[in-house]
Amino acid sequence: MRWFLDMCIILYYISEGDKEIFIKKSQKFVNEKKENKFLLCYYIKDENIPKWLNRQKVLFRELIKQISNSKYEPYSSEECKYLYDKDKKKLIKLIAYFRDVSDKKEIIKKFENAFQEIEFRVNIFLKEKIDEFVIPISEIDFELKSHLFTFLNLGSPIKNDSDAKTLASAIQEHNKNSLTILTADKSDWNEDLLEEVNYHFNLKKKYPELPKIKYLQDF
């Protein structure tokens, strides 16, 4: 089977996040790959992952500043504008955990190396686990992406262009060679969203086949 991976599968595999069950399931699924093929779109490889890695770099630098300098005003650095709310929540947990550690130098040294370790694990995954990169960014169908974007997070002021580009890539590749999407996002990635393609006159003709979506938590 050809599995089109959501980026969260990679992050769980390298033990990022606080959902231990998802981490274990991702590692089990990937390690028991057998004859399966793992696909990743170029958008995730060339844009989403680099952006995520950059945020982790900023996060660890901010963490070191807050731990090592009691006079530092949290998030006063210009680069902190790149952090998401979920990054700041992660930062708060790390600070709470390490603030009372007596040997600050040792903790700082560990965090200085933490980013390099994360980057290394991501790159190893891309090199050793991904069989094929699909749909160059320049080939993402703007009309398809825009249509999916309209119905993502329907009713919410927060829209996710990243998800729209990733799902558009999956649909485009599926109509070349059948695939199944794997994600852990049951709230936004669902077949009702994909079915919206069938209600668009032009897109229905261009993409008559829609991929199935499977969820990591169901394995």
- Do residues 4 and 211 lie in contact, with contact meaning Cβ atoms separated by under 8 Å? yes
Concatenate the DSSP letters of all residues of 147-185 into one string: HHHHHTTTT-S---HHHHHHHHHHHHHHTTS--EEEES-
Q: Answer yes or no: is 55 within a domain.
A: no
Note the helical H segments in the chain: 7-13, 20-31, 42-43, 49-68, 85-98, 104-128, 142-151, 161-174, 191-195, 201-206
Asked if residue 207 and residue 145 are part of one domain, the reply reads: yes
Q: How many domains does the chain have?
A: 2
Q: Answer yes or no: is 101 within a domain.
A: yes
Asked if residue 167 and residue 154 are part of one domain, the reply reads: yes
Sign (positive or negative) of CA dihedral 182, 183, 186, 187: negative
Neighbouring CB atoms inside 10 A of 27's CB total: 14
From first to last of the 219 residues of the chain, give the pLDDT tens digit: 999 999 999 999 998 766 889 999 999 999 998 899 999 999 999 999 999 999 988 888 888 888 777 788 888 888 888 888 888 888 887 777 766 666 667 777 777 788 889 999 999 999 999 999 999 999 999 999 999 999 986 655 555 899 999 999 999 999 999 999 999 999 889 999 999 999 999 999 999 999 999 999 999
Indicate the residue among 127, 150, 173 that finishes a domain. Answer: 127
Q: Can you tell me the distance from the alpha carbon of 107 to that of 121, in angstroms, rounded to the nearest whole number?
A: 21
Buried b (16+ CB within 10 A) or exposed e, 184-198: beeeebeeebbebbe
Asked if residue 17 and residue 37 are part of one domain, the reply reads: yes
Name the residue range of residue 16's domain.
2-42+130-218
Q: Can you tell me the distance from the alpha carbon of 149 to that of 136, in angstroms, rounded to the nearest whole number?
A: 19
Q: Answer yes or no: is 56 within a domain.
A: no
Q: Answer yes or no: is 57 within a domain.
A: no
Indicate the residue among 106, 127, 148 that finishes a domain. Answer: 127
- 21 residue type, one letter: I
Identify the three-state secondary structure at position 200.
coil
Q: Answer yes or no: is 58 within a domain.
A: no
Asked if residue 211 and residue 163 are part of one domain, the reply reads: yes
Indicate the residue among 78, 100, 127 that finishes a domain. Answer: 127
Q: Can you tell me the distance from the alpha carbon of 119 to that of 98, in angstroms, rounded to the nearest whole number?
A: 22
pTM: 0.89
Q: Answer yes or no: is 194 within a domain.
A: yes
Q: Hey, what's the torsion of the CAs at 183, 189, 192, 197, to 10 degrees? A: -100
Asked if residue 200 and residue 96 are part of one domain, the reply reads: no
Q: Can you tell me the distance from the alpha carbon of 113 to that of 32, in angstroms, rounded to the nearest whole number?
A: 30
Q: Answer yes or no: is 86 within a domain.
A: yes
Tokens 């004859």 belong to residue: 35
What is the structure's pLDDT at 101? 67
Q: Answer yes or no: is 53 within a domain.
A: no
- Minimal CA–CA distance to 27: which of 165, 17, 186? 17
